[in-house]
Amino acid sequence: MRKFFESLLEQNKVSIIDREVSPKHELAAVNNAIQNAGENIALFNNVAGTDFPVVSNLYGSYERICEIIGAPKDGFCKQWKKITHTPLEHEIYEDIDLPDDVISGKLTDLPLITYHEKDAGPYFTSVIFLAKEPDTGVPNLSFHRCMFVDENEVRCRLGASHDLARYQKKAEERNQALEVAILIGTSPEVFMAACSGIPYEDNELEVAAKLAGAPIKMRPCKTINLMVPADTEIVIEGRILPNKLAPEAPFGEFMGNYVSQVESPVVEITDVNWREGAYFHSLTCGSNEDLRPLEAMFAARVYNHVSSVIPGVIDVSTRPNGMITIVKIKKQYEGHGRQALIAAIGSNMDYNKVVIAVDEDVDIQNLEDVMWAYLVRGPADKRAFIIEDIPGFYRDDMKDHWGRLAIDATAPWGREEEFERKSIPGEDDIDLSQYLVQ
């Protein structure tokens, strides 16, 4: 993360806050204000109660995410598919000794940030869990919120469909604790790999190595038998205890509302260590930094599936918030849009609450443009259909996310010329500085 952040600092893409900021609500409020004003990264140099500088909004720009994987603005899905389907041409790892500059301390040395009014307490939100599959030893990277309890304990939320939950269940059946390294401030390649949602038996660190174009340097932990990416800013070492749950939440989650208190696994902390001069990565759930990477990865998953069964798929977006999927197609026959909708719904059972198909001239990163296509290019009633009583988001006991709404917002087959966009010749080439009075 450090190299990535400091390169953006050199490009003047960082908003710097030197005045003291409280970690309870104030930091999150200032951070949201910065994100609402643009795509700058926030650097908090003076957070009360800690010596760590806090960095946020590293991944809040869709363009930056595309740059990380070497994709043009409208080519994330194609580039991700190319990278992940290309065989690795080098080793996944390069093991090194524990660096001399790794310092051990306490959990309370870290920024203890409370984000939302009704959160149960301070949370670690940008954390990536690294653990090994108990039978195969294949490592897994995944995001799970962690509630701070005290120096020796955090409580983490594990969804039933998460790979880490399956690891923990296997260990628990043997009455064993599951060792975990909780990573804060990883490289962009590791961060994006942790977002990827690959099959259970696959290795996210292999994805990271493909993105990096080189082996991932790994160093040992101090108290548990795990290797972690050596350039990680902060590592919290611990064990998920078997047969032990404790109250966790409420917490303001990515959908924009609070999730209720639940019984969540307990992580016993065995060590906290960091690189000299470490930055702490803070992420506000539901912010642009939380949503843009998730949306990009959901979109890539949908694209992989739909493009394999339907011709003419150009791109996919799941913006905003991952619950909506927009498929851009080059229409080739009557009913093409509807087929794309059905394929998209089947690509991911957790999300895709609303699915929309559009023509190739629509900006799928702009929901206003997508709705223009639906509202202008045909009747509202005959181009939308509802599939009732289909389970949705896995964490949904009240069935609030059941059902699917599908909308074919493409122009009617054979009448495309009637719905051609108007244009002004030369508009895209205008340089206002050549016209406005200085």
In this predicted model, what pLDDT tens digit does every residue of 241-289 receive, in sequence order?
999 999 999 999 988 889 999 999 999 999 999 999 999 999 999 999 9
**Quick count: other Cβ atoms within 10 Å of Cβ 79?**
15
121 alpha-carbon distance from chain centroid: 23
Which one, of 154, 121, 126, lies nearest residue 141 by Cα? 126
pTM of the model: 0.93
Q: What is the pLDDT of residues 26-62, one digit of tens each?
A: 999 999 999 999 999 999 999 999 999 999 999 999 9
Q: What is the mean pLDDT of residues 86-105?
A: 96
Question: Locate tokens 């998209």: which residue?
Answer: 344
Number of residues written out for the chain: 438
Predicted pLDDT at 323:
86
pLDDT at 322 over 80: no
Q: What is the mean pLDDT of residues 374-390?
A: 93
Q: H or E segment at 247? A: strand 234-248
Question: Locate tokens 């010596």: which residue?
Answer: 51
Give dist(CA 320, CA 354) in Å, integer.
Answer: 11
Distances (CA, A) of 63 to 59, 72, 194: 9, 8, 19
Predicted pLDDT at 239:
98
Number of helices followed by number of strands (H, E) in the chain: 10, 23
38 alpha-carbon distance from chain centroid: 19
Give dist(CA 126, CA 74) in Å, integer.
Answer: 26
- Nearest 5°: CA angle at 62, between 59 and 63? 105
**Quick count: other Cβ atoms within 10 Å of Cβ 182?**
24
What is the maximal distance between C-alpha atoms in the chain?
75
Give dist(CA 221, CA 32) in Å, integer.
Answer: 34
- Per-chain mean pLDDT for the chain: 95
pLDDT at 1 over 90: yes
Q: Phi then psi for 318, rounded to 5 degrees?
A: -125, 40
Residue 160: pLDDT band (50, 70, 90) is confident
Predicted pLDDT at 397:
77
Residue type, 136: T
Q: In what order do the strands lie in the sheet with 404-408?
A: 313-317, 324-329, 354-358, 404-408, 384-387
Q: Where are the beta strands (DSSP E) in 253-318?
A: 258-259, 262-275, 280-281, 313-317
All structural domains of the chain: 2-287 (2.30.110.10), 289-412 (3.40.1670.10)
Give dist(CA 436, CA 438) in Å, integer.
Answer: 6
Predicted pLDDT at 52:
98
Strand, helix or coil for residue 279:
coil
Question: Locate tokens 């994805």: which residue?
Answer: 207
CA gyration radius, the chain: 23
**Quick count: other Cβ atoms within 10 Å of Cβ 326?**
28
> Pairing between strand 41-44 and 14-17?
parallel
Quote helix, strand, coil % in the chain, to nearest 5. 30, 25, 45
Cβ-based neighbours of 356, under 8 Å, separated by 6 or more: 324, 325, 326, 327, 341, 370, 374, 406, 407, 408, 409
Give dist(CA 214, CA 216) in Å, integer.
Answer: 6
Residue 327: pLDDT band (50, 70, 90) is very high
Residue type, 185: G
Give dist(CA 399, CA 404) in Å, integer.
Answer: 12
Dig out the tokens for 338 from the structure.
Answer: 């509807």
pLDDT at 133 over 80: yes
Predicted pLDDT at 391:
82
Predicted pLDDT at 349:
77
Q: What is the pLDDT of residues 384-433, one digit of tens each?
A: 999 998 887 767 778 888 889 999 999 999 999 999 999 999 999 999 99
Dig out the tokens for 155 from the structure.
Answer: 């409580």
Q: Where are the beta strands (DSSP E) in 254-389?
A: 258-259, 262-275, 280-281, 313-317, 324-329, 354-358, 384-387
